[in-house]
A and B are shown apart, each in its own frame.
Chain A
Amino acid sequence: MLVNECKYFVRQPLVWLAALMYLAFAVLVSFGVHNPDLVAIKQFHYKAMTLLILGTPLLIGALAPISFLRDSNSNMAELVLATPRQLHIHQKYRASTLLIFSLLVGLTGMGLCAFFIGQQTNTSIAQFVPELIWDLTILYFPSLVFFTCAAVWLSHRFNSSSVVYAVFASLWAGYMVVASVTGISIMAGSYIANDSLLTFMIWLDPHGISAVFSQFREGAIAGSPTVEVLINRGIYLVLAAVLFTFAIKPRAHSSSNLNASIFSELRRFLRVKQQSPKKVSPKLTLTSPMLSLIMVSVKSLASNRLNQLILLGWFFLIFSEVVAGIKHVEPMSQLIPTSIDAWNRIAFDIVPLLGNTLLLFWVWQTCWRAKQVDMSELIASTPRTSMQLAMSQLCSAIIAVTMILGVATIAVLAAELHVGSQLTAGHYPLQLLVLFLPLVASGVLFVAINTLVSNKYQAAILSLSVFVLKFSPLMAQLGLEHPLWNIAGAPLIAPDTVWGFAASWSAFGPYMLFWLTFSTATLFIAIVYSHRGTGFRSNWRQATPHNQWLAAACAVFCVSITVLMHGALQAQRPLLTKQAQHQWRADYEHQFGHWQQLKQPQATAMKVMGDFYPNLGAANFDIEMTLTNPHTVAIEQVLIGGIHGFEFQSLTLENARLIASDPRLNQHEFKLLSPLLPNQSLTLTTQINYQQPSLWPAALHQIVTPEFSYFRSAPVMPNVGFNTDFILRNATRRLELGLAELPERNPSEHWQKQTSEPGVLKRIQVHSVITTVEGHKVIAPGALVSKSIKDERATFEFKTQQPIRDIAAWFSLPYSSLKTNSSKGNSKSTELHFYAPKLDNPANLESAQINLQGMKDTLNWLSQHVGAYPGARLNMIAIPELGATGYAMPHTMLVGHKVAVRAQPLISNEGRASFDHRYRRAVHETAHQWFGHGLGNGVDWDRTFLVEAMAKYIELVMLEQFRTDAELEALINFEYLRFKYATSNSTQKAVALIDAGLRHDMYSRATLAFTVLREEIGDAAIIRTLKQLWAANQAPNPPASSVDFVRLLLTHTDAKQHALIERLFLSNDVQFLLEHPRFKGIKP
């Protein structure tokens, strides 16, 4: 009998389709493991668990109806039930078949993961076998048994495929939500929101992985059968047995017991009442066929119990999501929310994703409804045109979109009122518009697919494919990135209170026009070849020649506008797939690699005459760069290069002629008419014209808009000589593209081998004369020398007093600054500016003052203890939300408006110590003027220790010196917990702190290391070391590295402290920090 069941099972196309999709997903998750430092075993467990929680519920949910509901779905129930085999025998064998099949698929999926991870990490597959067996028996088997029995029970109780699909989809999605708040780091951005919930999940996680993750948090690299794990698995096996027993109980016997249960109520609620006839009053009085068709469709959607439940769930999902995070900015920080914050919680992920899911489901339901109830031939034989039928379905889809957004709006509004958010009525229509149009475009496409494709399953698969293309990173994984894969969407950036939708508003209109036109043309083609809901395949003869020509014209039109759109995108910003980018870099290295050995001049000064036209989205820069020969030999040839796709308007090198130019690689070789002798200079003149792309969202670091204009020199300004930033770092791709292997140059290896490859300090004087519209403020490196207004244009002149690191940026802002000066004790007072919109608002003003205080404290302290600030002015600018919370350039720092201005420190209910992120961030970014733009650059092989770790050290010192001990402890607690959590979830091997490149090492571990170090040796030795390093890090000396810092620190400390220093900075022992007595007692 089992064989008989299996024979049926393997004949079902859906079975193979589901298995293939599951295995394709397994392959997809297996990639992205290129780093050889990965702990392969842990990586494998992660992938196996990812497949378990993301794949298996969907697999079983998809196959449950064909396993347990096939009799009723195929009208064979009476035939099958009339056979002498009892129900429980049927169910037993069907459940066994599904279980065996899903176990086999799960095993194959894990096998694929093991194979690909083994390939990428050079690990023998044999090493994964015990882990695979563990995962299969302890995690997969009980989960699969439970889900299979749950499917049997659901099928038995509700006898509806829709209910089974909906319940499994809800279980799947619900688990995602719970996993993301219980620290299961498979989910991006997961955290532990509540200890009780975590404890609950450790015991009652249906997949049992919460208990495994709690072991990972304790440092394990693989799960072990602890009491929690075994009890959890046992519970689900018992629960499975109970469900199965209920499922196979004869109805007559069980009904009396279950009638009172809530499940029975739910079942009654969901079932179509066929037993109790009741009068239905006719309400259809519409006389328009279109309206009648629409009304019937909408009534059907709205009266469907499952859809009603879905809409109810939709309301609560949106409401809870908005309420849960509307005030959140970052840990220990919150804000007074507005409608923009409320909508941002859901408008850019949940609504598009789940809205499209609902739409896909409802369009499919609507388009195939007549067929589903065997009424399609009656409808199709009426004189209603295919256009009318399709348009009625489209109208139903639009009404469905309205229902989705209507419920979402009510939920957002309710959430805002609940938390006391500042209601911004004007934002609602705008936000609804940007949600409505993409959903409508999706709806048109889904209707077109279901109108054209005559098989409902094929139509569903095709619609799902559109969905997958839109929402999954599949095409990016295949190296085919393109904005148009976001089908029926626009590259919108979430709005903020600084500039609303301005970051991407210009792209929304053209994209929507494109997609609505494209989908409408597609719908027209579909209408011409419509199956009219019958599912009978149409052929070319069905359409009149006139319609055939029209359909062909539509097809040509679709192709044409796609090509045009691609061309327009390409013209504004060249599109390069990852593969093409690699190829470009490889070609660059092949063709110009030899320039690394040729001596080249260095840029030592730059004069920039710039004009911002914010209202036109344009900026022009005339640049004169002084190139000086810093070497001891003469230079005869110079290579000047730019980035891909950004042409210089002009490029002239004094005393030289252009001998070769490669437009594709944007490289230009000049032959000097007379050699450039040591310390001699010449002038490079160029012009850059920038136009803000209208089809691309604004992105750092070149933006010109009326609300915010910012132009950074790197990477668009000319580069002299070979540009090491273009070197392809991916070892595998280097090999594939015929490039030589890059030497391993970790700082710790230099330490061990006592070697050093000196770098070059690149310093430049910047003189800027920038014009902009009257009313705007210009910011540039250096001090403001003069400003004037003429012909409604304001001109600002800035000059640096000392050379700065060779990164310059120019701003044109419609808002002014709050200003202060550095300490008077400092011989040269520095002007400190904090720029933000609406500083007349008291809350904004308070934030500005706190930021300024952080800048001032840090500048004074570092100037006094390490070295004088190399400038007369330091600017901090609150910028719109563009993904950067803090970013420092010489003389100018950027901070996110939300974190720096709108955020307030969170006052914990338990009175737990907290700190002010605004002050801390201002300190951190200011510290980068010393660590990052003073020290910590110019050495190619060095990592971020001298930049980020030292900035974290300064945070500790500043909080201790200028704030309270409680704030210092709060910062240490915060970083300790962040580090502990990240370490337990990391799949990479720990490295020395000076080699670190991961965020939790660069920031959190550095904080902990310096906390321990300060307690052991005090600040004096560290300050002496920094002072000496700062003094040495001046031209013409080579730049200092992290290795130099450690070496110097050893000379300033006792020998007995050396072991600790080496352990903190040079070893990969992270457990030492995690178990250090200093951090004992820290709890979440």
Chain B
Amino acid sequence: MLKITNLSKTYAGGVRALDAINLTLPSGMVGLLGPNGAGKSTLLRTLACLQSPTSGNIQFGDVDVIKNPYELRAQLGYLPQYFGVYPHMSCLALLKHMAVLKGITNKAQSQQQIEELLTLTNLTQFAHRNVTEFSGGMRQRFGIAQALLGNPKIVIMDEPTAGLDPAERDRLHDLLVSISTDKLILLSTHIVEDVENLCQHVALINQGKIVDSAPVQALIARLAGKLWLTHTHPENDAFVLSKSYRYGQPHYRVFAQCAPSADAVSVEPTLQDRYFIEINQQTKIANEGLRRVS
């Protein structure tokens, strides 16, 4: 559905935020996972045609996005990581404004969509209040509502669950899953659990490059039988993916070909394990590089 070819973005200061990215994404829910500064927001802004790439191409269906940004925008729902709202405008007024901008000129259609979205985002009772007076979570729900206006074919959401309480988060998840059948919903987050729960397909990005892109199961399958949970820090070359505590006792999730310690038990791999492997690998490579240089 979305094909990205050799996409690069270098900022004026010389920072290479995207480095020859090649990516093909199917319809449905797709997660974009990466640590802070990996290039997620830059990639999403570029896909949303908000900034132009230094080189490369983007194809959405039949649309050459670089050449015809308006054709993409006509099918786009976008929720940036941070956004604000105009003062002195109610939620309803602002949604109507956005609906008009998105080309929904039929009043009845606009009214119907807005009402549905207000219900879906649980904002109906606040429709007449200024959005500037909304709490963080309410404002985020407003952002989601406006992104979904116009029944977009591609929805790009940058950290959509930020600021939402657990109930609202679940509600959003329901909503996204229900609408994702015939469209591409690109979800960028570093909350791996969200991606694992929602997305069929995941792209891992780090340091401006796509590390891997595949269905979630395929990404995890490669780790089967190599993940261990232990209470003691392994002393060999085993890869410690994460350290957590339970009742004050440390728990290590370790990636190793065989049990790293006597108390280690084999566990089911998760997307988070894969994510940590990729991040740690990149860090390790970088550290080794630094060591060699010094």
The bracket for how many chain A residues form the interface is 35 or more
* Min CB–CB distance A278 → chain B (angstroms): 8
Interface string of A264-303 (1 = CB under 8 A from B): 0000000010100111111111111100110010011001
A541 to B129, CA, bound (A): 42
Segment at the B interface, from A370-378, A646-654, A962-970 = A370-378
* Min CB–CB distance A12 → chain B (angstroms): 19
- For the complex, count residues of B whose C-beta is within 8 A of A: 49
Binding site for A on B (CB under 8 A): 12, 45, 48-55, 66-67, 69-70, 73-74, 76, 78, 80, 82-90, 92-93, 96-98, 100-103, 105-107, 110, 127-130, 132-133, 143, 146
Binding site for B on A (CB under 8 A): 272, 274, 277-289, 292-293, 296, 299-300, 303, 369-370, 372-375, 377-385, 532, 534, 536-539, 541-542, 544
Supposing A289-B100, A296-B86 touch, asked if A534 and B130 sit within 8 A by C-beta, the answer is no
Interface pair B86/A280, CB less than 8 Å apart: no
A285 to B114, CA, bound (A): 13
Residues in B whose Cβ lies below 8 Å from that of A532: 50
Interface pair A383/B103, CB less than 8 Å apart: yes
Residues in B whose Cβ lies below 8 Å from that of A282: 90, 92-93, 96, 127-128
Residues in A whose Cβ lies below 8 Å from that of B102: 382-383
Interface pair B103/A289, CB less than 8 Å apart: yes
A378 to B106, CA, bound (A): 21
Interface pair B132/A272, CB less than 8 Å apart: yes
* Min CB–CB distance A863 → chain B (angstroms): 78
14 new A-B contacts at CB < 8 Å, known A280-B93, A383-B76: A278-B130, A280-B89, A282-B128, A287-B106, A288-B100, A374-B82, A374-B84, A375-B85, A377-B83, A378-B78, A383-B74, A383-B102, A536-B45, A539-B52
Q: Which of B70, B87, B132 contacts A385 (CB 8 A)?
A: B70
Residues in A whose Cβ lies below 8 Å from that of B67: 544
Counting from the closest, the 4 A-B pairs by CB-CB distance are A374-B84, A381-B78, A536-B51, A383-B74
A537 and chain B: residue at smallest CB distance: B12
Interface pair A369/B86, CB less than 8 Å apart: yes
A382 to B48, CA, bound (A): 9
A87 to B88, CA, bound (A): 31
Selected A-B contacts with CB under 8 Å, 8 pairs: A282-B92, A287-B110, A289-B103, A300-B87, A380-B50, A382-B102, A542-B52, A544-B67
Residues in B whose Cβ lies below 8 Å from that of A374: 82-85
Residues in A whose Cβ lies below 8 Å from that of B88: 272, 280, 299-300, 303
Supposing A369-B86, A375-B83, A381-B76 touch, asked if A284 and B103 sit within 8 A by C-beta, the answer is no
Interface pair B53/A292, CB less than 8 Å apart: no
Interface pair A536/B50, CB less than 8 Å apart: yes
Residues in B whose Cβ lies below 8 Å from that of A534: 50-51
Interface pair A373/B86, CB less than 8 Å apart: yes
* Min CB–CB distance B65 → chain A (angstroms): 11
A280 to B130, CA, bound (A): 7
Residues in B whose Cβ lies below 8 Å from that of A286: 100
Q: Which of A274, A285, A293, A299 contacts B96 (CB 8 A)?
A: A285
Residues in B whose Cβ lies below 8 Å from that of A378: 78, 80, 83, 98, 143, 146
Count how many pairs of residues, one from A and one from B, have CB atoms less than 8 Å apart in the complex: 130
Residues in A whose Cβ lies below 8 Å from that of B146: 378
Interface pair A279/B128, CB less than 8 Å apart: yes
Residues in A whose Cβ lies below 8 Å from that of B106: 287
A292 to B102, CA, bound (A): 11
Interface pair A382/B101, CB less than 8 Å apart: yes
Interface pair B101/A293, CB less than 8 Å apart: yes
Interface pair A283/B100, CB less than 8 Å apart: no
A285 to B105, CA, bound (A): 10
Q: Which of B73, B97, B127, B133 contacts A296 (CB 8 A)?
A: B97
A293 to B53, CA, bound (A): 28
* Min CB–CB distance B235 → chain A (angstroms): 41
Residues in A whose Cβ lies below 8 Å from that of B143: 378
Interface centre among A375, A534, A544 (most CB of B within 10 A): A375
A293 and chain B: residue at smallest CB distance: B101
Q: Which of B50, B83, B128 contacts A280 (CB 8 A)?
A: B128
* Min CB–CB distance A420 → chain B (angstroms): 42
A277 to B91, CA, bound (A): 13
Q: Which of B49, B76, B92, B101 contacts A292 (CB 8 A)?
A: B101
A580 to B280, CA, bound (A): 71
A379 to B51, CA, bound (A): 13
A277 to B132, CA, bound (A): 9
Interface pair A382/B73, CB less than 8 Å apart: yes
B146 and chain A: residue at smallest CB distance: A378
Q: Which of B49, B50, B96, B105 contacts A284 (CB 8 A)?
A: B96
Residues in B whose Cβ lies below 8 Å from that of A537: 12, 51
A375 to B93, CA, bound (A): 15
A278 to B89, CA, bound (A): 11
Interface pair B86/A375, CB less than 8 Å apart: yes
A279 to B129, CA, bound (A): 5
A284 to B93, CA, bound (A): 6
Interface pair B133/A274, CB less than 8 Å apart: yes
Supposing A282-B90, A285-B96, A287-B105 touch, asked if A274 and B52 sit within 8 A by C-beta, the answer is no
Residues in A whose Cβ lies below 8 Å from that of B93: 280, 282-284
Supposing A287-B105, A300-B86, A542-B52 touch, asked if A382 and B129 sit within 8 A by C-beta, the answer is no
A542 to B102, CA, bound (A): 21
A297 and chain B: residue at smallest CB distance: B86
A536 to B80, CA, bound (A): 14
A286 to B107, CA, bound (A): 9
A81 to B222, CA, bound (A): 50
* Min CB–CB distance A60 → chain B (angstroms): 28
A300 and chain B: residue at smallest CB distance: B86
Residues in A whose Cβ lies below 8 Å from that of B53: 541
A296 and chain B: residue at smallest CB distance: B97
A303 and chain B: residue at smallest CB distance: B88
* Min CB–CB distance B70 → chain A (angstroms): 5
* Min CB–CB distance B96 → chain A (angstroms): 5
Interface pair A277/B107, CB less than 8 Å apart: no
Interface pair B97/A284, CB less than 8 Å apart: yes
A289 to B150, CA, bound (A): 14
Residues in A whose Cβ lies below 8 Å from that of B80: 377-378
Residues in A whose Cβ lies below 8 Å from that of B49: 381
A538 to B54, CA, bound (A): 10
A285 to B111, CA, bound (A): 10
A378 and chain B: residue at smallest CB distance: B83
A873 to B3, CA, bound (A): 94
Interface pair B66/A541, CB less than 8 Å apart: yes
Interface centre among A279, A299, A373, A381 (most CB of B within 10 A): A381
Interface pair B48/A377, CB less than 8 Å apart: yes
Residues in A whose Cβ lies below 8 Å from that of B78: 377-378, 381
Interface pair A382/B98, CB less than 8 Å apart: yes
A372 to B86, CA, bound (A): 9
Interface pair B50/A379, CB less than 8 Å apart: no
* Min CB–CB distance B122 → chain A (angstroms): 17
Residues in A whose Cβ lies below 8 Å from that of B127: 282
A536 to B50, CA, bound (A): 7
A285 to B108, CA, bound (A): 11
Interface pair B50/A377, CB less than 8 Å apart: yes
Q: Which of A272, A284, A292, A541 contacts B87 (CB 8 A)?
A: A272
Residues in A whose Cβ lies below 8 Å from that of B90: 279-282
Residues in B whose Cβ lies below 8 Å from that of A278: 129-130
* Min CB–CB distance A633 → chain B (angstroms): 78
* Min CB–CB distance A381 → chain B (angstroms): 4
A299 to B97, CA, bound (A): 13
Interface pair A373/B128, CB less than 8 Å apart: no
Interface pair A381/B48, CB less than 8 Å apart: yes
Interface pair B107/A285, CB less than 8 Å apart: yes
Interface pair A384/B101, CB less than 8 Å apart: yes
Residues in A whose Cβ lies below 8 Å from that of B128: 279-282
